[in-house]
Amino acid sequence: MTTTLGTLQGIADPGRETRPAVGEAREGGSSSVPAPRRKFIYILGSGRCGSTLLEIILGSHPQIRATGEYHGIPFPKWLPAAVCSCQASFDRCTFWAPIYEQYTRSIDVEHHRREQGRFENYSSLPRTLAYALFGSRSLRQHAERMQRVIPLIASASGKPFVVESSKSAVRGFVYRLAPGSDLDIYYIHLVRDGRAYIRSKLGTPDGGGLGRRAMRQHPLAPPLEWMMTNLLAVLLCGRPRDRYLRLRYEEFIGDPAGSLRAIGTFLGVDLSEVADAVRQGRGMPIVHLLGGNRLRFSDSIRVVPHHVDETGVGRREDWLYRILAGWLAILFGYRISDPQRAPRSRAPTSPGESG
């Protein structure tokens, strides 16, 4: 069965063994070019920004392991009801079950669960910032526990690069607070036009696409969410400049090969083979993503580059967006006065760069 989601074609075949990624040996094989330090790639942004797509594409590289949105580790993502993209519950998944067993042996699970609520939520940001300012030992210890799962994933996959697409700027910020960490953290901030975000949220509220009960939102909520999540991504994770890359979804999907070259330069890894696979329309396998867009339940995706225009919203929503978030959209290069025109073209940027 073939489904089409915008620019993606997903081919679902749960019963068939997943194919290796582009240029990749079977899961668990050793990396052909071992890295002296592991690199952790954290995708920032609002919801509905295309992070699952970006992560799947990056994960097709033989040295990069895509993992999905595992911000709820060990809760709620690793409860028995949680389902991996292989369509097995996490406790039966051949990839995640051994990692879960090792990880939970190294931490006090209930304590870690409480600390997640104290430090990782957006509502916890004032406390998190205050604790970070005064060098709180409990916050630093929590960050160290968060990082422990990354080498387990790298070891199980045999890949030195691990990607997480949880998007939360608060979680991304906490990651970097672990004392004495030997992990190189790189932030990719994926931004989508705010009107497309609003249209998606109003069309399919959170949970509606997965069969759960969907909660309708106040009209002010979507533009405020888009503004706050993207602003905090810049403020909390935008430094140092060589560890932060901002990329617009519309340019990524319009020219994925060019965007992949920029990402490869940023990460210090050659993504030319992945870019070639995109240009040639080759399918990219989806392997053991825990959380994320329901697209992850497909067997593979194909990317069809094209111009994206998903900015059509009602007059009230458009004016609320302009008033509340238009200033940030302009800083990101979007045109709010003429949504039919493409965003101003420019290269992916780091904070402080002009344009």
Segments making up each domain of the chain, as ranges: 2-24+34-192+253-308
Q: What is the pTM of this model?
A: 0.84
Closest CA to 77 of 326, 292, 238, 284: 292
**Mean pLDDT of the 340-344 span:** 56
* pLDDT value for 166: 93
Residue 13 has pLDDT above 90, yes or no: no
Decide: helix, strand or coil at residue 211.
Answer: coil
Q: For residues 27 and 82, which has the higher predicted lDDT (pLDDT)?
A: 82
How far does Cα 248 stand from its chain's mean position?
A: 13
Whether residue 47 has pLDDT greater than 70:
yes
Whole-number pLDDT of residue 255? 92
Q: Mean pLDDT over all residues of the chain?
A: 82
The stretch 323-332 carries a mean pLDDT of: 96
pLDDT digits (tens, 9 = 90+) for 238-253: 999 999 999 999 999 9
Which residues, at least 6 apart from 68, have a Cβ–Cβ distance to it below 8 Å? 52, 55, 85, 164, 165, 288, 289, 290, 291, 292, 296
Total number of residues shown for the chain: 355
Which range has highest mean pLDDT (9-18, 120-129, 279-288, 296-305)? 120-129
Share of the chain above pLDDT 90, in %: 54
- Which residue would you say has higher pLDDT here, 322 or 25? 322
Asked whether residue 25 carries a pLDDT value surpassing 60, the answer given is no
What is the reported pLDDT for 36? Answer: 55
Of 177-186, 235-244, 298-307, the one with minimum mean pLDDT is 298-307
